[in-house]
Amino acid sequence: MRPSCCNGIVHLNPYGADAVLLAVNLVNQPATSTVELAERCEQNGVENRLVREREVTEADLAAVRVALDEWLAVVDASDELTRVELVNAMLAKYTEHPRLTNHAGDGWHMHYRPDHVPVGRLVATLISTGTALHLAGRGITRLGRCCTDGCDNVYADLSRGGRQRYCSPACSNRDAVRRHRARTM
């Protein structure tokens, strides 16, 4: 996450890589309760007060699941144009015009949503905006599914070279061992 500074106060950008990694986390290991959704949001960079000041409801959990299904369509898009159209559809559905805000006097920063939205909408906004920024800034192909046979996990490629193909080092190592054994037999 890249900090932004205003009047000596540093704000982290919640619409950056952390939002995409939150989507990856929630897709690969879905939250099964409202408490777990709140905890996972906080663990993955969503400002604590954004979740704590709102009650996370079953409707929020359901809304996040819908947004994650839409996000998976982005991940699984067969071509760049389809991927862009799907991200744009998410942006149209979950975001509003960008605006500067200084709620609670904590310094000026950008919002792509109204201040008081339910957690489900908040997470959907973060994921859609973060994904758009991720793809525009790092490359339109920087989302995918793990290449290891039998693993269906997704990843967001944050690597320098843009060559990530596995969801984790464990899957990468497992596939390397499989390829090595196939060559030596």
Q: In the chain, what are the domain boundaries? A: 10-145
pLDDT number for residue 108 = 85
Which whole number is the average pLDDT over 49-76?
Answer: 91
Which whole number is the average pLDDT over 57-86?
Answer: 97
Place of tokens 């149209």: 92
Q: Which of 124, 125, 166, 126 is nearest to 149 (CA)?
A: 166
pLDDT for 29-52, tens place per residue?
999 999 999 999 888 877 666 676
pTM as predicted: 0.84
Can you name the residues that pair with 156 across neighbouring β-strands?
A: 143
pLDDT number for residue 47 = 67
Percentage of residues in the chain having pLDDT higher than 70: 88
Average pLDDT, the chain: 86
Structure tokens at 125: 């906004």
Confidence grade of residue 7 (pLDDT, cut at 50, 70, 90):
very low
Confidence grade of residue 143 (pLDDT, cut at 50, 70, 90):
very high
Q: In the predicted model, is pLDDT for residue 67 greater than 70?
A: yes
Between 142 and 11, where is the model more confident? 142
Place of tokens 């989507």: 23
Burial class of residue 50 in the structure, from the number of CB atoms within 10 Å of its CB (0-12 exposed, 13-18 middle, 19+ buried): middle
pLDDT number for residue 145 = 97
Confidence grade of residue 14 (pLDDT, cut at 50, 70, 90):
low
pLDDT number for residue 11 = 39
Give the Cα-Cα-Cα angle 132, 133, 139 (nearest 5 degrees): 85
Write down the CATH number for the domain with range 10-145: 1.10.3300.10
